[in-house]
Amino acid sequence: MKYQSFAHKKFCLEYHIEFVTKERRNWIVDFNAEEKLRQIFETIAKEFNVEIKALGVQPDHVHLYIAAKNTDFNIAKFIQVLKGKSSYLIKKEIPMLKNIKDLWAKGYFVATTGPTPNYVVKDYVEKQDLSRNLRDLSNKPL
C-alpha cells in the first residue's frame, strides 16, 4: 500500500472492481476484443487520473485493481464511463457487436482494498487474466 500526496493530503484509494458481460456472453473471446478493451480501459483511466495496477480479462467478465491519484475521485462515475465508453468503442471497432443491445450487465462489484497488502490483490487480479492463463496452458506439456 503506497500513500499518494496531493494538495496537503495523504491518502490511499485503491479499489478492486469486477463487472460481467450481459447474460455472461463470451463476446470478449469470441470477437478477440481483449486487447482493444485493455487499450480503452487505459485511456479512460488516464482521463480519470487513475492507475491500473492490474487488469484481468476473462471471456465473460473483467477484474481491475486501480489506484486513484486524487481524493475527489468518483468510483461510481468511473465505472459508469468505463462500461459505457468501452461498449460504444468496441461496437464501433467490431460491427458484428452492434446487434447486441448491452455488452455489459447492469451493476458491478467494487471493494476498497483496505489494509490488504497490495501484492495480494494484484496477484489475484493478474491470475484472472485470460491471456496469462492461455500462455500458462500453452507452456504445459501434453
Amino acid occupying residue 1: M
| Domain ranges for the chain | 4-138
Least Cα distance to 111 among 73, 66, 141 occurs for 66
3 state DSSP class of 104: strand
Task: Kindly give the confidence (pLDDT) of every residue in the chain, 142 residues in length, as a single tens digit, with 9 standing for 90 and above.
Answer: 677 787 788 888 999 999 999 999 999 999 999 999 999 999 999 999 999 999 999 999 999 999 999 889 999 999 999 999 999 999 999 999 998 999 999 999 999 987 677 778 888 888 888 766 555 545 555 4
Q: Is the pTM of this model over 0.85?
A: no
The CATH number assigned to the domain with range 4-138 reads 3.30.70.1290
Q: How many other CB atoms are found less than 10 A from the CB of residue 12?
A: 15
